Amino acid sequence: MTATRTPDPQPGRTPSPHGSTSSAPTGRVVAQHRGRWLIADPSRPGEHDARPAILSGRLARDPSPDAHPVVGDQVALDPDAADGLARITGVLPRRSLLRRGATDGTSRQQALAANVDVAFVVVPADRAVNPRRIEREVTLVWESGALPVVLLTKMDLCADPDAAVAAASGAAAGVEVVPISVHDRHGLHVLDHWLVPGATVVLLGASGAGKSTLTNHLLGREHLRTNGLRWDGAGRHTTTHRELVALPGGAAIIDTPGLRALALWADGGDEEATALGQTFGDVATLALECRFADCGHRREPGCAVLAAVADGRLPADRLASWEALGRELAQLERRRDAVARAAGKAADRRGAKALRVRVAEKRGEG
Protein backbone atom coordinates (compact mmCIF):
# COMPACT_ATOMS: atom_id res chain seq x y z
CA MET A 1 0.00 0.00 0.00
CA THR A 2 1.59 3.25 -1.15
CA ALA A 3 0.65 6.82 -0.36
CA THR A 4 0.19 9.14 -3.31
CA ARG A 5 1.61 12.62 -3.03
CA THR A 6 1.14 15.94 -4.69
CA PRO A 7 4.53 17.59 -5.24
CA ASP A 8 5.22 20.44 -2.86
CA PRO A 9 5.33 23.96 -4.28
CA GLN A 10 8.77 25.02 -5.42
CA PRO A 11 10.70 26.07 -2.31
CA GLY A 12 10.79 29.80 -1.82
CA ARG A 13 7.89 30.59 -4.16
CA THR A 14 4.18 31.09 -3.74
CA PRO A 15 1.79 29.52 -6.27
CA SER A 16 -0.59 32.03 -7.80
CA PRO A 17 -4.25 31.20 -8.45
CA HIS A 18 -3.31 30.58 -12.07
CA GLY A 19 -0.46 28.20 -11.34
CA SER A 20 2.44 30.59 -11.98
CA THR A 21 4.77 31.67 -9.19
CA SER A 22 5.52 34.96 -7.53
CA SER A 23 8.63 36.05 -5.70
CA ALA A 24 7.02 35.96 -2.24
CA PRO A 25 9.10 33.73 0.07
CA THR A 26 7.50 30.67 1.61
CA GLY A 27 8.24 28.31 4.45
CA ARG A 28 6.81 25.31 6.23
CA VAL A 29 5.36 25.38 9.73
CA VAL A 30 7.36 23.00 11.94
CA ALA A 31 5.94 24.01 15.34
CA GLN A 32 3.46 26.31 17.01
CA HIS A 33 3.96 27.83 20.45
CA ARG A 34 1.24 30.08 21.93
CA GLY A 35 0.60 32.48 19.10
CA ARG A 36 3.98 32.08 17.44
CA TRP A 37 4.95 29.73 14.66
CA LEU A 38 8.34 28.30 13.74
CA ILE A 39 8.93 28.34 10.01
CA ALA A 40 11.54 26.35 8.09
CA ASP A 41 12.64 26.32 4.48
CA PRO A 42 10.32 23.76 2.81
CA SER A 43 13.30 21.91 1.37
CA ARG A 44 14.94 21.58 4.82
CA PRO A 45 12.13 20.93 7.36
CA GLY A 46 13.81 20.84 10.73
CA GLU A 47 13.35 22.99 13.82
CA HIS A 48 17.07 23.71 14.04
CA ASP A 49 16.72 25.79 10.84
CA ALA A 50 13.44 27.43 11.84
CA ARG A 51 12.70 31.10 12.37
CA PRO A 52 9.89 32.55 14.51
CA ALA A 53 6.91 34.19 12.86
CA ILE A 54 3.52 35.63 13.78
CA LEU A 55 0.34 36.16 11.80
CA SER A 56 -0.10 39.30 9.77
CA GLY A 57 -2.85 41.58 11.02
CA ARG A 58 -5.16 40.65 8.15
CA LEU A 59 -4.68 36.92 8.67
CA ALA A 60 -5.12 37.22 12.44
CA ARG A 61 -8.51 38.86 11.87
CA ASP A 62 -9.69 36.20 9.41
CA PRO A 63 -12.53 34.29 11.15
CA SER A 64 -12.34 31.25 8.88
CA PRO A 65 -11.27 28.13 10.84
CA ASP A 66 -9.08 27.01 7.94
CA ALA A 67 -7.31 30.35 7.49
CA HIS A 68 -4.74 29.99 10.26
CA PRO A 69 -1.67 27.79 9.77
CA VAL A 70 -1.01 24.51 11.54
CA VAL A 71 2.04 22.28 11.70
CA GLY A 72 2.84 20.97 8.23
CA ASP A 73 1.40 23.95 6.38
CA GLN A 74 3.24 25.74 3.60
CA VAL A 75 2.85 29.48 4.20
CA ALA A 76 3.58 32.74 2.43
CA LEU A 77 5.85 35.09 4.36
CA ASP A 78 6.65 38.76 4.68
CA PRO A 79 10.16 38.57 6.18
CA ASP A 80 10.70 42.32 6.54
CA ALA A 81 9.55 43.51 9.95
CA ALA A 82 11.08 45.99 12.35
CA ASP A 83 10.77 43.59 15.29
CA GLY A 84 12.67 40.82 13.47
CA LEU A 85 9.66 38.49 13.35
CA ALA A 86 8.47 37.30 9.96
CA ARG A 87 4.77 37.76 9.19
CA ILE A 88 2.69 34.87 7.87
CA THR A 89 0.49 36.42 5.20
CA GLY A 90 -1.33 33.35 3.91
CA VAL A 91 -1.65 29.57 3.88
CA LEU A 92 -0.87 27.81 0.60
CA PRO A 93 -3.28 25.17 -0.78
CA ARG A 94 -3.24 21.98 1.29
CA ARG A 95 -3.17 18.46 -0.07
CA SER A 96 -4.56 17.10 3.21
CA LEU A 97 -5.78 18.44 6.55
CA LEU A 98 -6.19 16.31 9.67
CA ARG A 99 -8.91 17.70 11.95
CA ARG A 100 -11.07 16.64 14.85
CA GLY A 101 -14.36 18.05 16.03
CA ALA A 102 -14.83 19.99 19.24
CA THR A 103 -15.80 17.91 22.24
CA ASP A 104 -18.05 20.61 23.74
CA GLY A 105 -21.06 19.90 21.55
CA THR A 106 -20.41 22.79 19.15
CA SER A 107 -19.74 22.70 15.42
CA ARG A 108 -16.16 23.95 15.79
CA GLN A 109 -13.14 22.08 14.52
CA GLN A 110 -9.50 21.76 15.58
CA ALA A 111 -6.88 21.33 12.90
CA LEU A 112 -4.10 18.95 13.96
CA ALA A 113 -1.71 18.78 10.99
CA ALA A 114 -1.59 19.67 7.29
CA ASN A 115 -0.02 18.24 4.14
CA VAL A 116 0.27 14.77 5.65
CA ASP A 117 0.74 11.76 3.38
CA VAL A 118 0.46 8.95 5.93
CA ALA A 119 -0.98 8.85 9.45
CA PHE A 120 0.39 6.21 11.80
CA VAL A 121 -2.47 5.39 14.18
CA VAL A 122 -0.42 4.33 17.20
CA VAL A 123 -2.10 1.69 19.39
CA PRO A 124 -0.31 0.30 22.48
CA ALA A 125 -0.49 -3.50 22.70
CA ASP A 126 0.54 -3.67 26.36
CA ARG A 127 -3.11 -3.17 27.29
CA ALA A 128 -6.47 -4.15 25.83
CA VAL A 129 -6.86 -2.88 22.26
CA ASN A 130 -9.75 -0.43 21.91
CA PRO A 131 -11.44 -1.11 18.54
CA ARG A 132 -13.84 1.82 18.90
CA ARG A 133 -11.01 4.33 19.24
CA ILE A 134 -9.22 2.82 16.25
CA GLU A 135 -12.37 3.22 14.17
CA ARG A 136 -12.60 6.89 15.14
CA GLU A 137 -8.96 7.60 14.40
CA VAL A 138 -9.01 5.80 11.06
CA THR A 139 -12.18 7.68 10.04
CA LEU A 140 -10.53 11.02 10.84
CA VAL A 141 -7.50 10.05 8.77
CA TRP A 142 -9.55 8.95 5.76
CA GLU A 143 -11.49 12.22 5.92
CA SER A 144 -8.24 14.22 5.98
CA GLY A 145 -7.04 12.85 2.66
CA ALA A 146 -4.08 10.97 4.17
CA LEU A 147 -3.46 7.23 4.25
CA PRO A 148 -4.03 5.47 7.61
CA VAL A 149 -1.67 2.76 8.87
CA VAL A 150 -2.22 1.16 12.28
CA LEU A 151 0.92 0.58 14.37
CA LEU A 152 0.59 -1.86 17.26
CA THR A 153 3.39 -0.73 19.57
CA LYS A 154 4.97 -2.37 22.63
CA MET A 155 4.47 -5.85 21.23
CA ASP A 156 7.23 -7.08 23.55
CA LEU A 157 4.84 -6.37 26.44
CA CYS A 158 1.74 -7.85 24.79
CA ALA A 159 0.17 -10.83 26.59
CA ASP A 160 -1.64 -12.14 23.48
CA PRO A 161 -0.12 -10.81 20.24
CA ASP A 162 -2.48 -12.73 17.95
CA ALA A 163 -5.55 -11.37 19.73
CA ALA A 164 -4.20 -7.81 19.61
CA VAL A 165 -3.55 -8.01 15.86
CA ALA A 166 -6.98 -9.55 15.27
CA ALA A 167 -8.73 -6.81 17.27
CA ALA A 168 -6.89 -4.03 15.45
CA SER A 169 -7.42 -5.62 12.04
CA GLY A 170 -11.13 -6.03 12.73
CA ALA A 171 -11.47 -2.36 13.61
CA ALA A 172 -9.42 -1.14 10.64
CA ALA A 173 -10.79 -3.21 7.78
CA GLY A 174 -8.65 -2.78 4.67
CA VAL A 175 -5.96 -0.83 6.55
CA GLU A 176 -2.49 -2.22 7.06
CA VAL A 177 -1.77 -3.23 10.67
CA VAL A 178 1.92 -3.39 11.62
CA PRO A 179 3.01 -4.91 14.97
CA ILE A 180 6.22 -3.27 16.20
CA SER A 181 8.43 -2.97 19.25
CA VAL A 182 11.03 -0.25 19.67
CA HIS A 183 12.51 -2.20 22.58
CA ASP A 184 13.52 -5.25 20.51
CA ARG A 185 13.28 -3.58 17.04
CA HIS A 186 10.55 -5.98 15.93
CA GLY A 187 8.80 -4.87 12.73
CA LEU A 188 10.45 -1.45 12.51
CA HIS A 189 11.94 -2.14 9.08
CA VAL A 190 8.40 -2.31 7.65
CA LEU A 191 7.94 1.41 8.32
CA ASP A 192 10.52 2.22 5.64
CA HIS A 193 7.77 1.50 3.09
CA TRP A 194 6.06 4.78 4.06
CA LEU A 195 9.02 6.80 5.37
CA VAL A 196 10.26 7.65 1.89
CA PRO A 197 12.10 10.87 0.99
CA GLY A 198 9.69 13.80 0.76
CA ALA A 199 6.85 12.09 2.61
CA THR A 200 5.24 13.57 5.72
CA VAL A 201 3.94 11.18 8.38
CA VAL A 202 1.92 12.11 11.47
CA LEU A 203 1.65 10.04 14.65
CA LEU A 204 -1.86 9.90 16.09
CA GLY A 205 -2.78 8.17 19.33
CA ALA A 206 -3.40 8.35 23.05
CA SER A 207 -0.87 9.40 25.67
CA GLY A 208 1.60 6.67 26.53
CA ALA A 209 1.08 4.85 23.23
CA GLY A 210 4.76 5.17 22.35
CA LYS A 211 4.65 7.98 19.78
CA SER A 212 7.57 9.99 21.15
CA THR A 213 9.63 6.86 21.81
CA LEU A 214 9.12 5.82 18.19
CA THR A 215 10.02 9.29 16.93
CA ASN A 216 13.24 9.32 18.94
CA HIS A 217 14.16 5.90 17.55
CA LEU A 218 13.53 7.01 13.97
CA LEU A 219 15.63 10.12 14.55
CA GLY A 220 18.42 8.08 16.07
CA ARG A 221 18.65 10.50 18.97
CA GLU A 222 16.71 11.81 21.97
CA HIS A 223 14.76 14.72 20.53
CA LEU A 224 11.34 14.51 22.19
CA ARG A 225 11.16 14.14 25.95
CA THR A 226 9.49 10.94 27.12
CA ASN A 227 8.16 10.29 30.60
CA GLY A 228 8.04 6.97 32.38
CA LEU A 229 4.83 5.03 32.80
CA ARG A 230 3.17 4.17 36.08
CA TRP A 231 2.96 0.53 37.05
CA ASP A 232 -0.58 0.27 35.64
CA GLY A 233 0.60 1.40 32.19
CA ALA A 234 -1.21 4.75 32.31
CA GLY A 235 0.68 7.20 30.15
CA ARG A 236 1.59 10.74 31.02
CA HIS A 237 1.54 13.35 28.29
CA THR A 238 4.97 13.13 26.71
CA THR A 239 4.43 15.67 23.94
CA THR A 240 3.00 19.09 24.75
CA HIS A 241 2.74 20.50 21.23
CA ARG A 242 2.70 19.31 17.63
CA GLU A 243 6.12 19.39 16.03
CA LEU A 244 7.50 18.44 12.62
CA VAL A 245 11.03 17.05 12.49
CA ALA A 246 13.13 15.76 9.61
CA LEU A 247 14.20 12.13 9.62
CA PRO A 248 17.65 11.08 8.40
CA GLY A 249 16.21 9.34 5.32
CA GLY A 250 14.46 12.42 3.98
CA ALA A 251 10.95 11.94 5.35
CA ALA A 252 9.37 14.25 7.92
CA ILE A 253 7.40 13.15 10.96
CA ILE A 254 4.88 15.05 13.11
CA ASP A 255 4.45 13.97 16.71
CA THR A 256 1.23 15.05 18.40
CA PRO A 257 0.11 15.28 22.03
CA GLY A 258 -2.02 12.41 23.25
CA LEU A 259 -5.70 13.02 22.52
CA ARG A 260 -8.12 11.92 25.22
CA ALA A 261 -11.26 12.71 23.24
CA LEU A 262 -11.72 12.33 19.50
CA ALA A 263 -14.87 13.85 18.08
CA LEU A 264 -15.37 13.18 14.39
CA TRP A 265 -15.11 15.93 11.81
CA ALA A 266 -16.16 16.08 8.18
CA ASP A 267 -16.89 18.93 5.79
CA GLY A 268 -20.27 17.48 4.88
CA GLY A 269 -21.58 16.02 1.66
CA ASP A 270 -20.02 12.94 0.12
CA GLU A 271 -16.73 13.27 2.00
CA GLU A 272 -18.11 12.16 5.36
CA ALA A 273 -19.94 9.21 3.80
CA THR A 274 -16.77 8.20 1.98
CA ALA A 275 -14.57 8.39 5.10
CA LEU A 276 -17.01 6.33 7.16
CA GLY A 277 -17.47 3.91 4.28
CA GLN A 278 -13.71 3.41 4.00
CA THR A 279 -13.39 2.68 7.71
CA PHE A 280 -16.34 0.31 7.65
CA GLY A 281 -15.72 -1.17 4.23
CA ASP A 282 -16.96 -4.55 5.41
CA VAL A 283 -20.32 -3.08 6.44
CA ALA A 284 -20.57 -1.00 3.26
CA THR A 285 -19.89 -4.06 1.10
CA LEU A 286 -22.58 -6.07 2.88
CA ALA A 287 -25.05 -3.19 2.52
CA LEU A 288 -24.75 -3.45 -1.25
CA GLU A 289 -26.32 -6.90 -1.02
CA CYS A 290 -29.44 -5.73 0.85
CA ARG A 291 -32.74 -6.24 -0.95
CA PHE A 292 -33.66 -2.56 -0.67
CA ALA A 293 -31.28 0.25 -1.63
CA ASP A 294 -32.51 2.40 1.27
CA CYS A 295 -32.23 -0.40 3.83
CA GLY A 296 -31.74 0.98 7.33
CA HIS A 297 -30.41 -2.36 8.67
CA ARG A 298 -33.03 -2.48 11.39
CA ARG A 299 -35.78 -5.01 10.67
CA GLU A 300 -36.05 -4.81 6.90
CA PRO A 301 -36.51 -8.11 5.05
CA GLY A 302 -33.56 -9.19 2.96
CA CYS A 303 -31.02 -7.15 4.96
CA ALA A 304 -27.60 -8.63 4.23
CA VAL A 305 -26.02 -6.69 7.11
CA LEU A 306 -28.33 -8.18 9.74
CA ALA A 307 -27.88 -11.60 8.18
CA ALA A 308 -24.10 -11.25 8.58
CA VAL A 309 -24.55 -10.31 12.24
CA ALA A 310 -26.85 -13.28 12.78
CA ASP A 311 -24.42 -15.82 11.34
CA GLY A 312 -21.34 -14.29 13.00
CA ARG A 313 -19.63 -12.85 9.94
CA LEU A 314 -20.06 -9.29 11.25
CA PRO A 315 -19.69 -8.52 14.98
CA ALA A 316 -22.76 -6.81 16.41
CA ASP A 317 -20.62 -4.20 18.20
CA ARG A 318 -19.01 -3.22 14.89
CA LEU A 319 -22.42 -2.59 13.34
CA ALA A 320 -23.40 -0.60 16.44
CA SER A 321 -20.23 1.48 16.15
CA TRP A 322 -20.90 2.20 12.46
CA GLU A 323 -24.40 3.37 13.34
CA ALA A 324 -23.16 5.50 16.26
CA LEU A 325 -20.50 7.26 14.20
CA GLY A 326 -23.03 7.86 11.44
CA ARG A 327 -25.37 9.50 13.94
CA GLU A 328 -22.51 11.61 15.27
CA LEU A 329 -21.71 12.90 11.79
CA ALA A 330 -25.39 13.60 11.11
CA GLN A 331 -25.64 15.57 14.36
CA LEU A 332 -22.52 17.55 13.42
CA GLU A 333 -24.11 18.40 10.08
CA ARG A 334 -27.30 19.61 11.81
CA ARG A 335 -25.28 21.82 14.17
CA ARG A 336 -23.38 23.32 11.23
CA ASP A 337 -26.62 24.01 9.39
CA ALA A 338 -28.03 25.74 12.47
CA VAL A 339 -24.92 27.91 12.80
CA ALA A 340 -25.08 28.80 9.09
CA ARG A 341 -28.75 29.76 9.36
CA ALA A 342 -28.07 31.92 12.41
CA ALA A 343 -25.18 33.63 10.63
CA GLY A 344 -27.36 34.25 7.59
CA LYS A 345 -30.12 35.80 9.71
CA ALA A 346 -27.58 38.01 11.49
CA ALA A 347 -26.22 39.18 8.14
CA ASP A 348 -29.76 39.94 6.95
CA ARG A 349 -30.43 41.98 10.09
CA ARG A 350 -27.20 43.94 9.60
CA GLY A 351 -28.10 44.58 5.98
CA ALA A 352 -31.61 45.72 6.86
CA LYS A 353 -30.25 48.05 9.54
CA ALA A 354 -27.74 49.55 7.11
CA LEU A 355 -30.53 50.08 4.56
CA ARG A 356 -32.69 51.87 7.14
CA VAL A 357 -29.77 54.12 8.02
CA ARG A 358 -29.20 55.03 4.36
CA VAL A 359 -32.90 55.73 3.81
CA ALA A 360 -33.00 57.92 6.91
CA GLU A 361 -29.92 59.82 5.76
CA LYS A 362 -31.46 60.47 2.34
CA ARG A 363 -34.68 61.69 3.89
CA GLY A 364 -32.68 64.00 6.10
CA GLU A 365 -30.91 65.41 3.06
CA GLY A 366 -34.24 66.04 1.35
* 113, 148 Cβ separation under 8 angstroms: no
Q: Is 209 annotated as contributing to ligand binding?
A: yes
Q: Is 211 annotated as contributing to ligand binding?
A: yes
Q: Which residues pair with 177 in a beta bridge?
A: 150
Q: Is 154 annotated as contributing to ligand binding?
A: yes
- Three-state secondary-structure class, residue 136: helix
What is the length of the chain? 366
**How many CA atoms, within 13 angstroms, populate the side-chain half-sphere of residue 148?**
30
DSSP 8-state code for residue 193: G
Q: Is 158 annotated as contributing to ligand binding?
A: no
Q: Is 281 annotated as contributing to ligand binding?
A: no
* 232, 226 Cβ separation under 8 angstroms: no
Q: Is 27 annotated as contributing to ligand binding?
A: no
Q: Is 303 annotated as contributing to ligand binding?
A: yes
Q: Is 96 annotated as contributing to ligand binding?
A: no
* Burial (Cβ within 10 Å: 0-12, 13-18, ≥19) of residue 92: buried
Q: How far apart are CA 5 and CA 8, in angstroms?
A: 9
Q: What is the secondary structure of 57-92 as a DSSP string?
A: HHHHH---TTSS--TT-EEEEE---TTS-EEEEEEP
| Closest alpha carbon to 65 in 114, 18, 121 | 114
Q: Is 345 annotated as contributing to ligand binding?
A: no
Cα–Cα distances (Å) from 190 to 171, 196, 240, 299, in that order, read 21, 12, 28, 44
DSSP strand E in the chain: where?
14-15, 21-22, 26-33, 36-40, 51-55, 74-78, 86-91, 97-101, 109-114, 118-124, 147-153, 177-179, 200-205, 243-246, 252-255
DSSP 8-state code for residue 156: G
Q: Is 338 annotated as contributing to ligand binding?
A: no
Q: Is 290 annotated as contributing to ligand binding?
A: yes
- In the annotated binding site for Zn(2+), the residues are 290, 295, 297, 303
- In the annotated binding site, the residues are 153-156, 205-213, 290, 295, 297, 303
- In the annotated binding site for GTP, the residues are 153-156, 205-213
